[in-house]
Amino acid sequence: MKKITLTLITSLLFSGCATTKITPEARNQLNQTQIAIKSQPIAVLVNPCLLSNELGKDRILNQASQLSSEKFIQTLTQELNQNGVKISEVSSPFICGSMPEEQLKKYDYQVDQNTKRTTVSEYPFLNNKNVVMNSEQQKAILDFYQYTAKTSEISLNNALNKKKQLAFPILDEKTKNTLKDWSKSNYIFVVSINGLNASVGSKFTSGALGLGVTLATMGAGAGLVSVYMPKEGQSYDVGVYDLDKKEFVWNKSSPLKGNIFSVKNHSLEATNILDPLFESQKE
C-alpha cells in the first residue's frame, strides 16, 4: 500500500479527550473564542478524504467522500445555529485537498458505480457537487490546505526533535486576503473528514503521519499525544482558523461513526462537534 499522510494533524488546544477536566483559564479562553465567532458570520470549509485499500489496489472513494461532506455540513450547521453562530459561506471544493499532487495521482477512482475505475489525472481533485467559487478562490484554499499540512508536519518534527527546530511557514497576504473575500469573515471553521477502509488481508503500517494513528500537537507547550483511531480509521478534525492572527484558535479531533464508506447505505454520525468550545447540554 502506498504511504498515506493524514490531511491534518489536529492541534488540540486544551484537551485530548472529552473526559479531561478543563481548567478555569482554558474555559475562559474558550469563552473568548465563542464571543469572537459569534460577533460576525463565519465560513465553513470541509475537506473530505475517504480511501480504500483492496489487497494493494488503492482508491479514492469520491462518492462516499461527497456524501460524508454533505452530511457533516448539515450536522455542523445545525450545531452552529443552535449555539448562535451565523454562517457566511459553506464550501467543500476538493476531495483529499491536502494530499500532495504526486501522491494523489497514484490513486484510482470511479465517477459512479456504473463507470470503470481510472487513475486520477487532474490536480486538485474537484468535488463537482460543491464547487461554487472562482479559480482564484480555489487556488487560495488549495494553498491554505498545503500551508496547514506543512505547519502540521513541522509541528510534529519540532515536538520529536528538540535539537533541530524548523521554522513555521507563514500564510501569504494574497492567500489570506482571498480567503477573507470569499469567507466574508475573519474566521473559518476548517473540517477534515478522514477515513481508510482496509479490506480483509490488506496490510498497512501505522507510523508517524500514518493511517490508523492521529498525531496531535497540544497547545501551550504541551507534549505530543497519539490518538489511536479504530481499525477502519474514520475520524474528523475541526478547527477555528483566525485569518488575522494566522493561526488556529481552537481545534479538536474525534472518531466518526456510521457507514461512511458506503454509497448505497451511507450513514454518518457526529455528535457534540463543538464541545468543549461550546459545552454540550447534558440531560
pLDDT in tens, 62-96: 999 999 999 999 999 999 999 999 999 999 999 99
| pTM for the structure as a whole | 0.81
In the block, cell 456504473 appears at: 114
Taking the CB of residue 148, how many other CB atoms lie within 10 A of it?
23
Please tell me the predicted confidence (pLDDT) of residue 186. Answer: 96
Reported as a single tens digit per residue, the pLDDT across 1-40 is 443 333 333 333 223 344 457 888 889 999 999 999 999 9
Q: What is the pLDDT of residue 148?
A: 87
pLDDT of residue 20: 54
pLDDT the model gives residue 12: 32
Give Cα separations from 241 to 54, 108, 133, 229 (angstroms).
36, 32, 20, 24
**Positions of the chain with pLDDT lower than 70, given as ranges:** 1-20, 55-56, 129-131, 199-232, 281-283
Give how far the C-alpha of residue 4 lies from the chain's centroid of Cα atoms, to the nearest Å.
15
**CA 234/CA 257 separation, integer angstroms:** 8
Find the Cα–Cα–Cα–Cα dihedral 42, 9, 272, 19, rounded to 10°: -140
Helices (DSSP H) in 171-244: which residue ranges? 173-183
So what's the pLDDT on residue 204? 42
